[in-house]
């Protein structure tokens, strides 16, 4: 390899969240090098039907609150989450928000709206690249 070539390393972080009955944040990891979020996949064994008032927002955030990717079961969001169906969370439109500074905490934020039913145990796979 030539000395000026940049080496990008693909990484994955799998995580299984417990049953959620209220809004909760799960702190996951902090990459040691600058990174870029590529994609987030999620699967839930029971699924969840879209609803205008009683829904869940499933977010990946960095730091205290910077949104990176989301799936919402709101009828105006991505909608129904099929049982045992892998979905890709929607990355934010601002490319700069997908860059993760070194040692910045990455979390999953599950936000319950109104009287949504409990969110069953689900699995995430966060795909990112070390770029720094």
Q: Residue 3: its pLDDT value, please?
A: 53
Q: Which residue has the tokens 């690249």?
A: 129
Average of per-residue pLDDT values in the chain: 95
Mean pLDDT of 20-28: 98
pLDDT range class, residue 1, cuts 50, 70, 90: very low
Closest CA to 82 of 54, 116, 42: 42
Domains of the chain: 18-130 (2.60.120)
Give per-residue pLDDT as tens, 40-62: 999 999 999 999 999 999 999 99
Question: Bridge partners of 13?
Answer: 126
Q: What is the pTM for the complete model shown? A: 0.93
């Amino acid at each position: 390899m030539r000395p000026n070539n940049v080496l990008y390393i693909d990484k994955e972080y799998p995580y299984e969240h417990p049953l959620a009955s209220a809004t909760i944040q799960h702190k996951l990891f902090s990459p040691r090098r600058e990174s870029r979020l590529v994609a987030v996949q999620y699967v839930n064994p029971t699924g969840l039907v879209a609803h205008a008032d009683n829904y869940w927002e499933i977010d990946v955030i960095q730091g205290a609150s910077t949104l990176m990717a989301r799936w919402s079961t709101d009828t105006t969001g991505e909608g129904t989450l099929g049982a045992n169906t892998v979905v890709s969370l929607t990355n934010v439109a601002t490319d700069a928000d997908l860059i993760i500074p070194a040692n910045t905490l990455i979390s999953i934020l599950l936000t319950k709206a109104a009287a949504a039913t409990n969110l069953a145990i689900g699995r995430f796979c966060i795909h990112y690249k070390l770029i720094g």
